[in-house]
Amino acid sequence: MPPSADIPPELQAAWLALLEDLRGLAPLVVAFSGGTDSSLLLAAASQALGPGVKAALCLGPLTPPWEADRARQVAASLSADLVELDAGELDDPLIVANDPQRCYHCKHLRLTLLTQLARRWGLKSVVEGSQLDDAQDYRPGSRAVKELGVFSPLARAGLDKAAVRRLSQALGLMTAQVPSGACLATRVATGTPLSAPVLTRIGQAEQAVRALLPGQARVRDHFPLARLELEPEALPQAAAEPLRGRLLAALLALGYTSVCLDLAGYRPSGRPPTGPGQGGPAGA
């Protein structure tokens, strides 16, 4: 990993503040997903504290398998000690109910598990990857971060998403340009109960779409209908042969009987469609 001298000059102060903050919070465990934000946080912790920093990855039906694979690669590249955990989200009826506060219940469950493990391991702090832009979005899980005394060093250092990506690029992280992700439960309509078979079907469907078409994509599950949200520029290709037939065949093989393209394109869950040229930021 490059030394701080390779950080863009305008981000040097924030980067050094981040490293100093992490030293003050050590020993610590990083709540890790393998996304852009938590990967930068783990890279900073590794630089500030040396190899062997603990990172905790929560697995289970809600976690996209490709994100778990990427998390393992990032942790290995940083020589971090990766601990994989099953938080048992689907054992919690509040999460299974999939109400508007599902993200809060899930985050609370996962971070409670990490704070308990941190105490068992003799660690001082749990840190997670929220950055400044997250405060502008609808994120019920942020309440759990505050309630459980978990720290958000990227936000504390004044870093937004653009700065996180620039720092990740400077550090040579493979996650520098990874699109924003979200758990598989975001593909299910609010109020529709969650189950392992449904989440597994969605994960398999999105893996099939990702294999055929790079870029941001979501398979919104209205079983037996699958609604595809793709980046707007990918819609003409997805609607034409041979890709149309390949996408259709892949999703029909998973049990869907109808597949439609959402002409509004990809957008974070719960946001209304936008007009031409008005695409919103990546999210759920």
How much is the pLDDT for 79? 94
Question: What rounded mean pLDDT belongs to the chain?
Answer: 91
Mean pLDDT of 142-171: 96
pLDDT tens profile 177-234: 998 889 999 999 999 999 999 999 999 999 999 999 988 999 999 999 999 999 999 9
Phi (first) and psi of residue 44, to 5 degrees: -65, -40
pTM: 0.90
Domain 4-170: CATH superfamily is: HUPs (3.40.50.620)
Neighbours of 249 (CB within 10 A): 12
Structure tokens at 6: 């390779």
Q: Percent of the chain at pLDDT above 90?
A: 85
Mean pLDDT of 115-126: 96
CA gyration radius, the chain:
19
Q: Percent of the chain at pLDDT above 70?
A: 92
How much is the pLDDT for 249? 98
Cis amide linkage into residue 224, ω under 30° from 0: yes
Ordered alpha helix ranges (H), the chain: 12-25, 36-49, 65-77, 93-96, 102-121, 141-147, 153-156, 161-170, 196-212, 235-239, 243-252
Please report, for the chain, the start and end positions of each structural domain, with discontinuous segments joined by +.
4-170, 184-261
